Structure 1
Amino acid sequence: NSEDVRCKCICPPYKDHSGHIYNKNVSQKDCDCLHVVEPMPVPGPDVEAYCLRCECKYEERSSVTIKVSNVIPFA
């Protein structure tokens, strides 16, 4: 299920831009600022400096585990 994998980038404030969290369904090799941060909040010359501050993590989630944990509290 494509919804069970995603890349999450956490970008701290930079210059006059506030911090932001970006999520996108991409492959593990594309889990980086340049592929996930859209739209890019800074102009071309600042992109590299902005991306160096972002922390990107690839996450795989089991939808079965999520469904089971949602059912248990009602049992």
Structure 2
Amino acid sequence: MAVLSTGPIENNLSGGNRPTQQVTIKMVNTDSINTSNVLIEGYFLNGTRTLYVLQSVNLTPGQVFSQTYYANLDG
């Protein structure tokens, strides 16, 4: 099982706004036979790690998935 992570992304206020308001996740199952099961987790870092996105996605062979999530958070 592969685990892919961006690690923390700093998104502090700059000029009264945060540089990033949304983040888009795009996945492609390039396997021609097997289905892939993916768990998407998004955390808000405010001194503690608070889960705010939890989504399970099943991708059939050749399927593309794209989803935009709220990201107007510090980190």
TM-score of the two chains, using structure 1 as the length reference: 0.29
Greater strand content? 2
**Greater Rg by CA:** 1
